Structure 1
């Protein structure tokens, strides 16, 4: 029997982390959908751009993308666990399914998804509460970084500056970042945490030019300076020439020796 859970909560409360734990502990097929949340007075929703889905599918390659129309129209497996993530700033006025934001239902119905359970961070006791913050004002900004590769030392310096107020009061930051050796990291920070998470992706890109996978930076906070963030980011990215200088030795190291005649 399939089971569809709608999980809502404010930025950085742990929705994606909780969803990952459910997928990893479930023995049957799983699917995921992130629904775009709705802004509130003075509170802007972030443009995820597929960031959470990309990370979850790296960790769980068989995960179904429930936002894919072809998969939505195809029959779902009988024992599918469908997990829907909805950014939502304030707790629902009513418990359970009665508290689901009615604005989201047409999108779910178009994808043949009908939640049979609704959990909200900060309301339901089975969910963690330590990162559930009440925001009174929140800006959101994101930057598409597809096909970019970071200088590793510059990435560390930039991230430290970002979360420590160099570009405004950042409350939430997450990103997927590519490195020249083919690795990528899911970078995650919340103001209520003691430090940042730098979680390596399982999939490696060949050290042969720019990777094709999604790369993106998402920032939420107050008094943000997007122009300064973007300018610093551009200074931290590798040019084609420098990228080739760093990748060429890596390719030679993995090239099998040629037999002599």
Structure 2
């Protein structure tokens, strides 16, 4: 039995851990058996959902799936473990006990100006990522929105407010949302990095009632108005009647396109 190559990736918020992992997966996912594990995400598994969508052949594990993850390691060629900034770096020692006696390499993705940090002491390899704010005093806010559908115009306005200081100093924001035309949309923001357009995930359009798949939002920043964030997110969500109306309109448009 071959020994899988295990890579543990850590780093600061927004520096590019998930981006770096995805770059590695694009090179090997088509030819190797790969598994991905990201603990500590609770009910808001944004990175796991994005990776499982982009790389459908990869086995993806998250919160509460440690046992299943460990059972799959012997069948894998490569293993990637993403250690979120919200987890204590020292707690990786507990992970090492679970992996024992399998060897693993450590990679830290950090801002270019970060020097002599705990990541530099810990990692076998340092990757210079995005020039992000690395203040560990920042707070984290998450909200799952499974089953909700959001008007895309309202989402664009909400995202603009998030990224322009309406709810506090936001340094990192990412989310997956089901919008009114049935698509699943990935949103990503890192302060100081040029903003990218919303990304449509490669998932079937959901045009029958409320979607039974994950959606949610994660924000990192200072002085976050969490109550206002929660209320605005709720205000963006459509009623049952509005969902049915939008879905009927989209189905009619799609039918016309197929008949044209």
Band the TM-score falls in, shorter-chain normalisation: 0.7 to 0.9
What does 1:48-197 correspond to in 2, within 5 Å? 49-67=44-62, 68=65, 69-74=67-72, 76-77=74-75, 80-88=77-85, 101-107=89-95, 109-110=97-98, 114-122=102-110, 123=120, 127-197=127-197
The equivalent residue for 1:246 is: 246
Structure 1 or 2: larger helix share? 2
Query: What is the DSSP-based 3-state SS (H/G/I as helix, E as strand, rest coil) of the residue aligned with 1:187?
Result: strand
1:142–1:133 CA distance, 2 compared to 1 (3 A): same
Q: Distance in 1 between matches of 2:255 and 2:206?
A: 12
1:18–1:163 CA distance, 2 compared to 1 (3 A): same
1:255–1:118 CA distance, 2 compared to 1 (3 A): same
Residue by residue over 1:102-143, the C-alpha shift from the partner in whole angstroms, topping out at 9 and shown as x without a partner, is 422334544778452101123477623333432152011111
Q: Distance in 2 between matches of 1:192 and 1:211?
A: 34
Q: Distance in 2 between matches of 1:201 and 1:113?
A: 37
Query: What is the DSSP-based 3-state SS (H/G/I as helix, E as strand, rest coil) of the residue aligned with 2:181?
Result: coil
Q: Cα RMSD (Å) of the superposition?
A: 2.7
- Unmatched tracts of structure 1, length 5 or more: 37-45, 91-99, 257-261
Shift in Å at residue 76 of structure 1? 2.5
Q: Distance in 1 between matches of 2:84 and 2:237?
A: 30
1:234–1:195 CA distance, 2 compared to 1 (3 A): same
Q: Distance in 2 between matches of 1:114 and 1:132?
A: 33
The equivalent residue for 2:18 is: 16
TM norm structure 2: 0.81
- Paired residues in the alignment total 237
The equivalent residue for 2:38 is: 34
Greater Cα offset, 55-64 or 205-214: 205-214
- Unmatched tracts of structure 2, length 5 or more: 111-119
The equivalent residue for 1:95 is: none
The equivalent residue for 1:5 is: 7
Shift in Å at residue 199 of structure 1? 1.6
Shift in Å at residue 101 of structure 1? 4.1
1:108–1:63 CA distance, 2 compared to 1 (3 A): farther
